Structure 1
Amino acid sequence: MSAAQPVEAARPVEPAQPVQAAQPVEAVQPAEAARPVEQDLAGRLALVTGAGRGIGAAVVEALAGRGARV
């Protein structure tokens, strides 16, 4: 078995250049983005990953409250 080869020293990299968007991006107003969606989910099935705690658990409660099977 041969010995491990030494790792090369870190080299500086060139800074990234800003990217120009092909089309202007429209800003979403916070009030629009935070508007709750009212939808009846009765009989619908929802799969939530990370549902055991934190945000995932809150999502499960919200979906179940609207009638979804989670």
Structure 2
Amino acid sequence: MIKQENERLRMRMTKTESQVDTHNHYVLHSLNISKRQREKAQHETELERLKKQLGRVRTSYPVRQYQED
């Protein structure tokens, strides 16, 4: 009975990618959500950096050459 319950909980945790706290209570915490948020923040930071870099290049680059490229 205990083995079946442990297996059921293990399968549920694997499916939802959740963690268990120190008192063995089931905690709904998706690791995917935090990973996606971290990747989104990194992507936005990188995008802002590239936009700033592109803005600096455009101001130092002649308009005619920029349009020809």
Q: Which has the higher strand share?
A: 2
Greater relative CO (CA pairs within 8 A, separation 6+): 1
TM-score, normalisation: structure 2: 0.20
Greater fraction helix? 2
Return the TM-score normalized by structure 1. 0.20
